[in-house]
Homo-oligomer: A and B are copies of this chain.
Amino acid sequence: MTDVPTFESRIRDSFARQQAMVTIGASLSAVRKGEVEIVLPFAPKLTQQHGFIHGGVVAMIADSACGYAALTMMPADAAVLTIEFKLNLLSPAKGERLRALGRVVRPGRKLFVCLGEVFADNGGDTKQVALMTASMMVTETATGLKD
């Protein structure tokens, strides 16, 4: 019998409700305490004018990976809201797939700070293409604390 941690099923349920992730074809590849990984296969529909994956799409998977990494460490009845993120684009986002790894750098009662790294996997090669830092707010409802 497999024991899936409570936080993992919560994260998987929430991720399944992120229709934007379905739209781009992203999936959850790992959920650990304080760390979440999201995988996104390359698709032409995600590209910018030079044929690379759009920087905003890179931000989408990094933001979700960071937010869910924070949610793994929040109380069971909490919701997570992104306050802000910054993304440095290190190299063109091209390859067979992107992989965003979000990790909690600083947990808190009201505020989490996370680091997101996005890699491009191509054949056996892996190259980091982006770096994110993000602030996540703990809230009881989707809009509550922010207002």
Contacts and interface: CB of A to CB of B under 8 A. Distances in A.
Nearest to A58: B56
Interface string A52-72: 111111011111100000000
A52 to B, nearest CB: 7
Interface residues of A, number: 60
A60 B50 contact: no
A32 interface: no
Of A52, A54, A60, most buried by chain B (CB within 10 Å of CB) is A54
Contact of A137 (B61, B64, B111): B111
A41 interface: no
B84 A89 contact: yes
Interface string A7-50: 00000001101111011100000000000000000001111111
Interface of A: 14-15, 17-20, 22-24, 44-57, 59-64, 79, 81-92, 105-106, 108-111, 113, 115, 128, 131, 133, 135, 137, 142-143, 145-147
